[in-house]
Chain A
Amino acid sequence: MITHNNNRRAGAARAGRLLAIAALAGVLSACVQQPKSMYSWQSYQGSVYSYLKDDGGDYATQTLAMEKNIETARAANAELPPGFRAHLGMLYMKMGNGDKGVEQMQGEKAAFPEAAPFMDFLLRNVGKPQTVAATDAGTPATGSPAAGSPAAGSTTSAKPAAAEPAAPAEAGTLKKGS
């Protein structure tokens, strides 16, 4: 009788301990951060890091990786994160593929209506003929971030405004004190 009671108590104690451990694990895994990601991030932030750190980085490599990410996300029925399409669109424009660039910018807008003002600002400049400032000839559609090479960004007011797409023509209006 006594041993039976002891066994029951020990069993209850073990069950309690297990319950506590399971609950603790649950707290740690569930509450620290959302267990399920809202978006399929994959290479997006790494691509942006490479872009920012290496003065543009390797456009082709980034584009290829991001296109693969789109397939992976589609297969998993997952959403692409905010900014993904716009960044890819910019890379395409940098590489002279204006059509694909515009397509991605439109895609960003469609997926996230919050993006509309900025995407419209960028798209407003697409299709405007780019003349003197163009470093890669034969690129009719060029958005503001795509104008010129990455190195060209360092020279600004020296450029004639007419040779620039509209966004750089806003140079000066963005400067402080205006």
Chain B
Amino acid sequence: MMNNLMRAGLVAVVALLTGCVTPPQKNVDYTAFRESKPASILVLPPLNTSVDVAATAAVLSQATLPLAESGYYVIPVGVMEETFKQNGLTSPDDIHELPAVKLREIFGADAALYMTVKQYGASYAVVASTVTVSIDAELLDLRNGAKLWSGSKQVVHANNNSNGGLIGMLVQAVVDQVVNNLTDRSYSVAGMTNAQLLSAGTPGGMLYGPRSPRYEAQ
């Protein structure tokens, strides 16, 4: 004799077992992405339309984790930035204009991620201050220029630290912040935004890359 609550519990367990393999949203067209099968991604320095100049560094430096954990090789961003610099390219606007063929030739990546940071930083109010980071991203195939995926994410983080969500907590747990003695909350929120925007397996999100154990199953 089964109680309703018991049944609900079992349903929840079944949901747990099947829930992890939820397919991405149906209204997103993954045809080009699946055909392209990119293995490596070049994350270009993001355009920055926010008022804080630190936004580019914060977003660029933290884009590697979600993409690598999703199964992609990510071109080392610091070395990439330095290479651009040595070639006289310091403006993300100029870098975003570079021909795909040239990027492919130098960096050897299958795809490039073009990001725009639209909001970055704190806004102060009487009761509580919030930190907002908002990012747009587009993934292009460097071999044929095809658009593979696009997405955008905004994370608003309130003062009381209860709004970070699980992904934020996980990001903070895995990222060692000792080196820089980072107290910069905007940097942390940028990490959460990147994680939510670029982690595979979310509705409408990126697909898993070849290095992920979930690549074959998707």
Using a CB–CB distance below 8 Å, which chain A residues touch chain B?
9, 12-13, 15-20, 22-24, 26-34, 37-39, 41-53, 61-62, 65, 69, 81-84, 86-87, 89-90, 108, 112, 114-118, 121-122, 144-145, 147, 150, 153-154, 156-157, 164, 167-168, 170-171, 173-176, 178
Contact = CB atoms under 8 A, between A and B. Distances in A.
B73 A37 contact: no
Interface string B73-95: 11111111111111111100010
A37 B39 CA distance: 19
12 contacts: A19-B10, A22-B13, A23-B13, A31-B20, A31-B22, A49-B62, A52-B81, A83-B74, A90-B79, A117-B106, A122-B79, A144-B86
- Main secondary structure, interface of B, reads helix
A20 to B, nearest CB: 4
A38 B174 CA distance: 11
Contact of B90 (A112, A116, A153): A153
Nearest to B75: A118
A153 B85 contact: yes
B106 A121 contact: yes
B79 to A, nearest CB: 5
What are the 4 tightest A-B residue pairs by CB atom distance, in nearest-first order?
A117-B108, A156-B88, A19-B9, A16-B5
Contacts of B58: 49, 53
Contact of B65 (A45, A53, A122, A167): A45
Given A19-B6, A174-B106, 18 more contacts: A12-B2, A17-B9, A20-B5, A22-B13, A28-B166, A38-B68, A41-B65, A46-B180, A48-B60, A49-B182, A82-B64, A83-B77, A86-B76, A114-B73, A122-B83, A153-B85, A157-B88, A171-B88
A39 B6 contact: no
B179 A61 contact: yes
A12 B1 CA distance: 10
